[in-house]
Amino acid sequence: MPPSPGRGTRGHRIGPHTADCVIEAWGPDRCACLTEALRALVEIFAEAKAPAGEVPVTQVPLCAEPGPDIGILVALLEEVIYTTDVIGVPVRFQLWDADDGGVRGFMEVAAHSCVEQVGPIPKAVSYHEIEIGPRDGAWRCRAVIDV
Amino acid sequence: MTVRLVADGADRWRIDATGAMRVPGVVFAPGSLLPDLAEERALMQVVNVASLPGIVEASYAMPDVHWGYGFPIGGVAATDVERGGVVSPGGVGFDISCGVRLLVSPLDADELRPRVEDVMDELDARVPTGLGSGGVWELDGEAELSDLLAGGSRYVVERGLGVPSDLDRCEDRGCLAGAEPALVSEHARARGLHQVGSLGSGNHFLEVQWVDRVFDETAAAAFRLHRGRVCVMIHCGSRGLGHQVCSDHVRTMLGAMARFGIDVPDRQLACAPVESPEGSAYLGAMAAAANYARANRQVLTAAVRGAFERAVGTRHLDLLYDVSHNLAKLEWHVVGEGRRLLCVHRKGATLALPPGHADLPDDLRAIGQPVLVPGSMGTASYVLVGAEPGGAFHSACHGAGRTLSRHEAARRVSGAGLRRELQRRGIAVRAASARGLAEEAPMAYKDVDEVVASCERSGLARRVARLVPLGVVKG
């Protein structure tokens, strides 16, 4: 699990792994933590070329079926990776808990041309040392991302 | 847990089997790299791999071994197919059939140097890199993607991008048998449809190099390498399609392992018996992804030939060899007293067939297989040759091996500064992102000279030639 996040109730960071990247995220509840993880994933490789609101986006639904939290984390991260390869770069996320125990939401996706590549592009999510769950009053997660 | 290494020969260290280990671990490494290794989690991953059902002989680590997930990068493990041996997608890695090919030009470095910027500009324009760049070859659609997944480089050559002699110099003649395009998921296909003929990002690159040192004159002559010769090295893999195939099948196997009574110490080691529906499905989809990677490198070869023709008037770049360093293959090997059918996983390790091996092309059989070892960007790369008797089921290293994380490399080096430094040394750079460039800084890697020398001392492969860059295209 990531160490204590310090100030703020939600956030994320990108940490070292020899060949790839580790993302760590935290938030007051599961969806906040997952949302921060998705933001971290995009931060590895992309920056918007213009301020939020000035970049045209399309809304793409996000869905993770009910199941173990690790499965939900992987499903959402993989959906962002897939979208980046096939459609464009997700720049904003909105998630909520579904009644069935899964997670629903949407992401705002910008065209590749509207985003500057600032690092290697994520390709997959590893199960190596992956973690998610509540600890010390917050939800925290960690995943190694193949780039 | 502390991993204890016991000296076991030249550049060879043993980890005795304890606990859940079914076989010992064997690490090939120079003593000078061991202090680094001892601190790494890579050795713990060597130990974990030794617990896989059906593993035979040893869990091996090449001299460039470093921390991966599940398997170490630079790991080799073989399982006995008829004795419940498993296949693990994590033992292949996400980038299925990631590999290297080397093209040998008719030019010498002194001839090319005045025009190298022109060549690099042409390559930069023709070789897609980075975000949303698409591929050189726009496929007609799903049906053509299936043909490519079944045929690999062979399909690309049949479509006119390459010459038949290219296939003689490809591992498996450019097409891995057993591909099942129908077992590649819709998500994987969508990711692969528009990326055929693209470099990607991360550690993938295309370099224009020249031979600065020859170690073995006989092998070098057979490979048409002499001091000064200009070559082009292409290092890339199966792009999003291969990564998705791995992700899909790790998930499937995680759900199936309990049914086979398999428990693994790391979820990324998820596996299933080779002779199970899950194992068979993975191998069929993996072969299709491997063929995508080979096709990708073949299409990029056509782009390189076009760039050279435009910039310097020649397209005669002959393929020396194309070899994967992320793959699982069914191979026959002598284990103990008999020949056994093994599923040999090479994750960040290169096939290194010795002289006389039946799978070599006729004109290389007396010499052995070219083993292509890309170094870190801006330093040196190597051509080795498979040695007799070799080791680790005819395997050798695949690169320099990282010592610094991407994060740490980018913290210590700026992309702009690195670009200036490379240019000061006469190396032209074309890069998709400054940070991506910084993350691949040479200081982030082990010394490739030391790594390949260790391969030679431990008998895995012999050095033939050292190549250094004139220009780098970086994804």
ipTM score of complex? 0.92
Closest chain A C-alpha to B194 CA, distance in angstroms: 8
Please indicate whether, in this complex, the C-beta atoms of B69 and A128 are within 8 angstroms of each other. yes
Does residue B39 belong to any structural domain of this protein? Answer: yes
Does residue B420 belong to any structural domain of this protein? Answer: no
Residues of chain B with C-beta less than 8 angstroms from the C-beta of A21: 406-407
| Nearest by Cα to B100 from B180, B11, B209 | B209
Q: Which residues of B385-408 are buried (b: 16+ CB within 10 A; e: fewer)?
A: bbbeebbbbbbbbbbbbbbbbbbb
CB-nearest to A18 from B70, B195, B402 is B402
Whole-number Å distance between alpha carbons of B341 and B333: 7
**Interstrand relation of B428-431 and B461-474 (parallel, antiparallel or unpaired):** parallel
Does residue B315 belong to the interface with chain A, where contact is any CB pair within 8 Å? no
Domain boundaries in chain A? 14-146
CB-nearest to A82 from B187, B200, B268 is B187
How many structural domains comprise chain B? 1
Please indicate whether, in this complex, the C-beta atoms of A121 and B66 are within 8 angstroms of each other. no
Q: Walk across the sheet containing A57-64 and list its strands.
A: A57-64, A103-110, A89-97
pLDDT tens for chain B, residues 1 to 475: 678 999 999 899 999 999 999 999 999 998 887 766 656 789 999 999 999 999 999 999 999 998 888 999 999 999 999 999 999 999 999 999 999 999 999 999 999 999 999 999 999 999 999 888 899 999 999 999 999 999 999 999 999 999 999 999 999 999 999 999 999 999 999 999 999 999 988 889 999 999 999 999 999 999 999 999 999 999 999 999 999 999 999 999 999 999 999 999 999 999 999 999 999 999 999 999 999 999 999 999 999 999 999 999 999 999 999 999 999 999 999 998 899 999 999 999 999 999 999 999 999 999 999 999 998 777 899 999 999 989 999 999 998 877 787 778 888 888 888 888 888 888 999 987 777 788 888 888 888 999 999 999 999 999 999 999 999 998 8
pTM attached to this predicted model:
0.96
Contacts of B434 by beta carbon, 8 Å cutoff, 6+ apart:
A118, B414, B415, B416, B419
CB-nearest to B68 from A19, A89, A130 is A19
The SS3 call for residue B360 is: coil
Provide the domain limits for residue B389.
6-403+445-474
Number of A to B CB contacts under 8 A, please give it: 129
CA distance readout (Å), B62 to B6, B102, B258, B291, B352? 16, 22, 31, 25, 12
Contacts of B127 by beta carbon, 8 Å cutoff, 6+ apart:
B136, B198, B199, B206, B300, B303, B304, B307, B473
CATH of the domain at B399: 3.90.1860.10
CB-CB contact of B188 with B182 (8 Å): no
Instruction: Report domain A14-146's class.
Output: alpha beta
Please indicate whether, in this complex, the C-beta atoms of A86 and B435 are within 8 angstroms of each other. no
Residues of chain A with C-beta less than 8 angstroms from the C-beta of B265: none
Helix H or strand E segment including B424: helix B415-424
Annotated active-site residue B316? The verdict is no
Residues of chain B with C-beta less than 8 angstroms from the C-beta of A20: 69, 406
Neighbouring CB atoms inside 10 A of B413's CB total 20
**Which chain B residue shows the shortest CA-CA distance from A115?**
B131
Does residue B22 belong to any structural domain of this protein? Answer: yes
Does residue B408 belong to any structural domain of this protein? Answer: no
CB-CB contact of B124 with B430 (8 Å): yes
Closest chain B C-alpha to A94 CA, distance in angstroms: 23
The SS3 call for residue B474 is: strand
Q: Write the burial class of residue B180 (CB in 10 Å: 0-12 exposed, 13-18 middle, 19+ buried).
A: middle
Closest chain B C-alpha to A131 CA, distance in angstroms: 11
**Which chain B residue shows the shortest CA-CA distance from A46?**
B131
Please indicate whether, in this complex, the C-beta atoms of A18 and B403 are within 8 angstroms of each other. yes
CB-nearest to A85 from B240, B403, B439 is B240
